[in-house]
Amino acid sequence: MLEPVQYVLGAGSGALVGFVLGLVGGGGSILAVPLMVYFVGVPNPHLAIGTSAFAVAANAAMGVVSHARAGTVKWRCALMFAGAGVAGAFAGSTAGKAFDGQKLLFLFAIVMVIVGVAMLKGESAGNPDAECNARNAPKVLSAGLGTGAFSGFFGIGGGFLIVPGLMMSTGMPIINAVGSSLVAVTAFGLTTAFNYALSGLVDWPLAFVFIAGGALGGALGARLAKRLSGTTGRLTTIFAILIFAVAGYMLWKSAAAFA
């Protein structure tokens, strides 16, 4: 059982993740696990992963509603991708639970570096009329299975993989890939959280205060994003640098734990 102050810190962490998501449009959920471990002070890395997986799924579900209203979700592609990925997420999360917690954090830090590099790269225009059909179904399903396994193993939303996976397998524009990816993020997160919950590795009160903080932070981030719409590229660069800094700290802490 965590201390009351840790739940307050959990709400603050959720607000920070939500704020970043609203401000730069993606990638913020990668901070959930390190915040829970190093800021909130969750003692068990697996408990942090299981709890953050549920919180990320809930925040993604909120995003699905917004994108659905804007008409940016390609539902057939989203459901095909998510359906295949659920099996991968369950297998990946099962493997993650059996993996040493400190080593998992070390690998997680490596993933964060990859995310930071990916955020600094440009994006292609894509085809607004792209759809999922029998011709590209094998690509969509295999991409969903692979990203689902990866997301489940690390207990993260995996949007940084799902978005390019959708774009490469279907040719859709990034705005549609982002909207459609949130369906998969929700499905993968719920699958991972369910698997961890079977082993008692989800702190439900912490998850709900994290979600509440994320909803508030997301609204504030989205409002600020509208005012700073011309500097989105700069904000993404700053966030990538933040990811590198957190990853460096995690690698340093992991190295100390192995010593």
Q: Tens digits of per-residue pLDDT, 199-220?
A: 999 999 999 999 999 889 888 8
Taking only the tens place, the pLDDT of each residue in 18-58 is 887 776 655 667 788 889 999 999 999 899 999 999 998 88
pLDDT of 120-141, one tens digit each? 775 556 778 888 988 999 999 9
DSSP string, the chain: ---HHHHHHHHHHHHHHHHHHHHHSS-GGGGHHHIIIIII--S-HHHHHHHHHHHHHHHHHHHHHHHHHHT---HHHHHHHHHHHHHHHHHHHHHHHTS-HHHHHHHHHHHHHHHHHHHTS------TT----TTTHHHHHHHHHHHHHHHHHHTS--HHHHHHHHHHHH---HHHHHHHHHHHHHHHHHHHHHHHHHTT---HHHHHHHHHHHHHHHHHHHHHHHHTGGGHHHHHHHHHHHHHHHHHHHHHHHHHHH-
Mean pLDDT of the chain: 84
Could you give the percent of the chain with pLDDT greater than 90?
A: 34
